[in-house]
Amino acid sequence: MRVANYRKLFFGVSAVLLLLSVASLIAFRLNPGIDFTGGAAITAVYETQVSSSQVSVALARVDQPDAIVQGSDGNTFFIRLGILELDERDAAGNVVRRGEESRVRDALAEVGPVEIGSFDTVSGIIGAENVRNATIAVIVASLVILIYVTWAFRRVPSPFRYGVAAVIALVHDVFIVLGVFSVLGETINLEVNAMFITGVLTTIGYSVNDTIVVFDRLRENVARHAGASTRDLVNLSIRETIARSLNTSITLIVVVVALLLFAGPSISPLLYVLLAGVTVGTYSSIFIASLFLVSWDEGEIGRFWRRVRFRRAAA
Amino acid sequence: MLRQLRWKSLLAIIVIVGIAAAALSVPDYRIPGIGARGSQDILGLRLGLDLAGGTQFIYQAGVEGEVPTAEQMQGLVGTITRRIDRLGVAEPSIQQLGDDRLLIQLPGVEDTQQARDLIGQTAQLEIVERICEDATCSVFEDRPSGLTGADMARAFPSQDQTTGQSVLSFELNRDAAQQFAVMTQRIFDTNATDSPDQLSFVLDGEALVAAGVRSPILAGVGIIEGRFTAEEVRRLAIQVESGRLPVDIEEISSSVVAGALGAQSLEEALIAAGVGLLLVLFFMAAYYRVSGLVAGMALVCYILIVLAIFKLVPVTLTLAGLAGFILSLGMAVDANILIFERLKEELQVGRTVQLAMQIGFNRAWPSIRDGNISTILIALVLFFFGSGSANSAVTGFAVSLLIGVLTSMFTAIFISRNLLGIAAATWLRRSARLFTPDAGRRDRAAQAGGSG
C-alpha cells in the first residue's frame, strides 16, 4: 500500500468534497436553531391523535403563522417559533397584559389535552452572543491545535509543517461537516445549535487525535530510518497505523449509531456531526494531513502557490 | 519479583474499583469535611434539569445599559433566593453568571408561569404604622401604610456623623416621599402624648425594626438609629433591600422540561449506552481475542470509575453529558487499540508474549499521551465556550469528555496493562494467537520448526 504515491487522487477527492460543501453552503446555507437566532422551541405531547395542520391553524390564530410544526406520530410535535413576548407586569409583579408566550400555550391546549414536554426560549441577545462565542471557540481551538502539534513534534525536522498539516486536515473536516449539515438542514430540517458546535469541536479534537497517532508513528520512523525519504516514511507509517485508525473509528461509529438509534432527538445534531466528523476525520488524518507533509517535502506546495499567483497575475 | 508486582497491582485495581463500586452503590451519604454527595436518582448521580425535569431561567440584570454593582448583584441573588424559598423547591440553584446575569435552576418545577410570578413579584416589605394600644405601649396594633418595598429606593448602612454610631440609611422613591412625610409627621405628633406611636419595617409579616420618629421625614430620606452594631445594620440593610430588587431584571432565556420527558430521555440514553457498550465489547473480543476481553474488563472498570467521579465531584449529568460519557466509551477503547496494535507488531516480529507486551506498551504511550492531550485541550475550549454562553449542555459535555479522557489514560496504562500482564503470566502466553488477530503466521512458522 503506497498511499503517498496517489496523493493527487486523494487531494482531488477532497477538493471535490470541499467544493460541493461550499456550493451547498452557498445554496442552502445552514439552518440555525434558536440558540443562534433567538426564538422558542416547544415539544408538545398530545394525549389524543391530532394533525400537525390543526396545531398550525391554532397557532396562526394567535398570530404565529410562521410556526414550524414537525411531528409524524400524531402525538408528539416539535414546534419552532420566533421570539415570544412575555406577559407584561406592573411594578408589583401582577400580570397586566398576557404576552405571546401565554397565548401560544393557550392555543396548543385548545387543540386537545396536551402536556408541554419542553419549552425553551432564547432572546436575540443570547443568540448573537452564541454566534460570536461559537466562532471564537472554533478559531481558538484551531490555534491551540496548531501551537500544540508544533510543540509536540518539536524534535522532528520542521515541526511547524506538522502543525499546519494538522490544522489543514481540521479545517477540511469542519468544512465538509458544515456542507453535510447544509444538505441535512435542507432535506430533513436539521438545525444548527449549540450542540452542533459542540459536535464540531469534538470532531476537531478527534481529527487531531487521529492525525497525531499517524504523526507519532512518522516521528518514530524518522528517528529509526535515517536518510529515508518522507514519502517512504509516510507510506510506512500509514501502513502501520491504518488498522488502529479504522478500528477506533469503527468503535466510535458503533457507539454514535447506538445513540442515534435510541437516544432522543434533542441531541441528534450532535450525533449527526459526530458521525460525519469521525468519518471524515479518519479519512483526513490518513489521506490529507500525512500526504500534505509529503507534498510540502517534495516542494509541491510552493509550486502550487507560484502557479496560482502566476495565473492571478496573468488574469 | 515481576509476578509479585503484578499481584500487588491487581490488589490496587480491586481496591480502586471496589471503592468506585461502593461509592455508586450507596445512594447518598455525607463525607466528613467535604459535604453530602449523591441523590435519590439512578446510582445516586445528580441529574440535570433536562433529565430530571425542571425549569431554568437566565436573567439579565441592569437593563438599558446600566451595569449593576457587585453589591447590587449580591442583593439580587439574596432577594431571589428568598422568593424561591417560598416556592418550596427541593434544591434550587441561583448563580451569578459573569458580571450581570443570573442563572436560576428549579428542579421539579414545571409551571414556568408560577415560577415567573414569584421571581418577578416585588415587595414583600411593608412599611407599617404601629399604633400604641395601652398606657405603657407594650401592645401595638400594626396598621399597613400602603407603602411597600416597591416604594423603597435603597437602604444602606452608614454612620451618624456626630456620634459615629452605626445607623441604617434609607431613601424612598420620589412619589412615595409625600405619603411618607404625612405619615411620619403624624407619628411624630404622637410623641407629645403619653402613648407615642412607632414606625416599623415588616418583611413577610416579621418586624425587622421598629422605631419612634424623632423628626418627620419630609424629603423621603431618613435614618434609623438604635444601639446597632455595624454587622446588624449591614444585615438590616440587606433585609430591607431584599423586599425589592436592587436592579431591574429581564428574562433572556428560559427552559422547562417535563419530568416525564426527562425520564424518557434518560431511559433512551441508558439503552443507547448499554447497546453501545455491548457492541464495543463484542467487537473488541472478536477482533483482539484475549486482549479484547481484557480491554472489556478495563472498560467496565472505566465505567465504574468515571461514574464514581461524576458522583463524588459532583458532576450534574445532562443528556449531553451522558452522550459525552457514552462517546468516551468509544474513545477509552482507543488507547487499548493503540496498545494492541503495537503488541501485534511485536508478536509478529517473534517476541515472546511477555516481552512483546512490555515493548508494545512503551511504544504506544507517546501517541496515547499526545493524542489525548489534544482532546483535553479541545474539552477545555469547549468548557469555556459553554460557560461563556451559560449553556449547561455544552459544559456538561465538556466536563464528561475531560473526565472520560483522563480516566481512560489511567485505565489503559494501569488497569489494561496489569490485567494483560497477569493474563500473559498464565498458560495463555503459550499461544500468541490468543492475543492478536494476525499472529497465526508466527504460530504456524513455529510449528513448522522454522525460526519465528
- Give the pLDDT score at A94: 65
- Of the pLDDT bands very low, low, confident and very high (cuts 50, 70, 90), residue A176 is very high
Across residues A185-199, what is the average pLDDT? Answer: 86
Separation between Cα atoms, residue A84 and residue A285, nearest integer Å: 45
- Of the pLDDT bands very low, low, confident and very high (cuts 50, 70, 90), residue A74 is confident
DSSP state of A42: E
User: Residue B197: how many CB atoms within 10 A of its CB?
Assistant: 24
Window 295-334 of B, Cβ < 8 Å to A? 319-320, 323, 326-327, 329-331, 333-334
* CATH assignment at residue A79: 3.30.70.3400
Strands of B206-211's sheet, edge to edge?
B140-148, B125-132, B198-203, B206-211
- Of the pLDDT bands very low, low, confident and very high (cuts 50, 70, 90), residue A184 is very high
Sort out which chain A residues have CB atoms less than 8 A from B260's CB and list them: 45, 115, 117
- What pLDDT digit, counting tens, does each position of B368-384 carry? 888 889 889 999 998 98
Is A113 in the same domain as A145?
A: no
Question: Is A266:A255 a contact under the CB 8 Å cutoff?
Answer: no
| Domain map (residue ranges) of chain B | 2-47+258-447, 54-122+248-255, 125-241
- Angular region, A289: left φ>0, alpha ψ -120 to 50, beta rest: alpha
- Give the pLDDT score at B192: 78
* CATH assignment at residue A133: 1.20.1640.10
Hunting for cell 426527562 — which residue is that? B262
Between the alpha carbon of residue B88 and those of residues A275, A307, B81, B106, the distances in Å are 43, 72, 11, 10
- Of the pLDDT bands very low, low, confident and very high (cuts 50, 70, 90), residue B324 is confident
The overall average pLDDT reported for chain B is: 81
Q: Taking CA atoms, what residue in B is nearest to A218?
A: B367
- Give the pLDDT score at B328: 82
DSSP state of B415: I
- Give the pLDDT score at A14: 95
Closest CA to B117 of A101, A105, A98, A93: A93
Best of A73, A89, A96, A118 to disrupt the B interface (most B CBs within 10 Å) is A118
B125-241: CATH architecture:
2-Layer Sandwich (3.30)
Between the alpha carbon of residue B405 and those of residues A305, B46, B280, the distances in Å are 40, 21, 17
The more confidently predicted of residues B118 and B3 is B118
Rg, C-alpha atoms of chain A: 25
Is A103 in the same domain as A209?
A: no
Judged against a pLDDT cut of 90, whether residue A16 lies above it is answered with yes
Question: Is B169:B240 a contact under the CB 8 Å cutoff?
Answer: no
Is A181 in the same domain as A259?
A: yes
The more confidently predicted of residues A110 and B42 is A110
- Give the pLDDT score at B242: 63
Closest CA to A108 of A139, A146, A137, A81: A81
- Of the pLDDT bands very low, low, confident and very high (cuts 50, 70, 90), residue B323 is confident
Beta-bridge mates of residue B206? B203
Window 14-53 of A, Cβ < 8 Å to B? 35, 43, 45
Beta-bridge mates of residue B101? B60, B97
Hey, which bits of chain A come out as E strands? Answer: 39-46, 68-70, 76-81, 88-89, 95-97, 114-122
Judged against a pLDDT cut of 70, whether residue B25 lies above it is answered with yes
Across residues A228-236, what is the average pLDDT? Answer: 91
Across residues B291-307, what is the average pLDDT? Answer: 91
Is A98 in the same domain as A175?
A: no
- Spell out the residues 6+ positions from residue B146 whose beta carbon is closer than 8 angstroms to its own: B179
Put simply, the answer to whether B333 touches A251 (Cβ < 8 Å) is yes
Residue in A247, A250, A263 nearest the CB of B268: A263
Window 69-128 of B, Cβ < 8 Å to A? 110, 112-113, 116-117, 120-123
The overall average pLDDT reported for chain A is: 88
- Give the pLDDT score at B448: 43
- ipTM score for this prediction: 0.85
Judged against a pLDDT cut of 70, whether residue B444 lies above it is answered with no
Put simply, the answer to whether B254 touches A256 (Cβ < 8 Å) is no
Separation between Cα atoms, residue A171 and residue B335, nearest integer Å: 25
B303, containing H or E segment = helix B259-312
Judged against a pLDDT cut of 60, whether residue B439 lies above it is answered with no
Domain boundary among A90, A122, A154: A122
- Give the pLDDT score at A315: 66
The more confidently predicted of residues B19 and B38 is B19
Across residues B43-67, what is the average pLDDT? Answer: 84
Is A253 in the same domain as A308?
A: yes
Judged against a pLDDT cut of 50, whether residue A221 lies above it is answered with yes
**Reduced to 3 states, what is the DSSP secondary structure of residue B136?**
coil
Across residues A113-126, what is the average pLDDT? Answer: 89
Judged against a pLDDT cut of 80, whether residue B436 lies above it is answered with no
Tell whether B257 is within 8 A of chain A (Cβ).
yes
Residue in A129, A254, A274 nearest the CB of B389: A129
Give the type of residue at B230. Answer: A
Domain boundary among A96, A122, A148: A122
Query: Span B54-122+248-255: which CATH code?
Result: 3.30.70.3400
Question: Is B284:B16 a contact under the CB 8 Å cutoff?
Answer: no
Length of chain B: 452
Tell whether B146 is within 8 A of chain A (Cβ).
no
Is A99 in the same domain as A216?
A: no
DSSP state of B156: E
Is A109 in the same domain as A26?
A: no
- What pLDDT digit, counting tens, does each position of B178-220 carry? 888 888 888 888 887 777 888 888 876 667 788 888 888 888 8
Closest CA to B246 of B171, B301, B309: B171
Hunting for cell 416579621 — which residue is that? B206
- Give the pLDDT score at A91: 56
Put simply, the answer to whether A152 touches B393 (Cβ < 8 Å) is no
Judged against a pLDDT cut of 60, whether residue B443 lies above it is answered with no
- Give the pLDDT score at A27: 94
Is A112 in the same domain as A158?
A: no
Put simply, the answer to whether A259 touches B269 (Cβ < 8 Å) is yes
**Reduced to 3 states, what is the DSSP secondary structure of residue A248?**
helix
Across residues B438-442, what is the average pLDDT? Answer: 51
- What pLDDT digit, counting tens, does each position of A276-303 carry? 999 999 999 999 999 999 999 888 888 8
Tell whether B374 is within 8 A of chain A (Cβ).
yes
Is A21 in the same domain as A45?
A: no
- Give the pLDDT score at B15: 92
Judged against a pLDDT cut of 60, whether residue B385 lies above it is answered with yes
Domain boundary among A64, A94, A122: A122
- Give the pLDDT score at B335: 87
Tell whether A144 is within 8 A of chain B (Cβ).
yes
- Of the pLDDT bands very low, low, confident and very high (cuts 50, 70, 90), residue B402 is very high
Question: Can you say how many angstroms the Cα of residue A166 is from the centroid of all Cα atoms in its chain?
Answer: 17
Sort out which chain A residues have CB atoms less than 8 A from B291's CB and list them: none
- Give the pLDDT score at B240: 76
CATH classification number, B2-47+258-447, choose in 1.10.3720.10, 1.20.1640.10, 3.40.50.300, 1.10.1060.10: 1.20.1640.10
Per the structure, the count of domains in chain A is: 2
Put simply, the answer to whether A217 touches B283 (Cβ < 8 Å) is no
For the residues of A264-296, what is the DSSP string, one character each?
-GGGHHHHHHHHHHHHHHHHHIIIIIHHHHHHH
Beta-bridge mates of residue A164? none
- Give the pLDDT score at B403: 94
Is A161 in the same domain as A109?
A: no
Is A12 in the same domain as A108?
A: no
What values do phi and psi take at B295, rounded to 5? Answer: -60, -40
In chain B, pLDDT over 70 holds for what percent of residues? Answer: 89
Domain with A43 in it: 39-122
Report how many Cβ contacts below 8 Å link chain A to chain B: 235
- Three cell numbers written together for A215: 504523526
Best of A83, A262, A275 to disrupt the B interface (most B CBs within 10 Å) is A262
**Reduced to 3 states, what is the DSSP secondary structure of residue B168?**
strand
Is A149 in the same domain as A25?
A: yes
The whole-angstrom distance between B88's CA and the closest CA on chain A is 19
Window 56-95 of A, Cβ < 8 Å to B? 86-87, 89, 91-93, 95
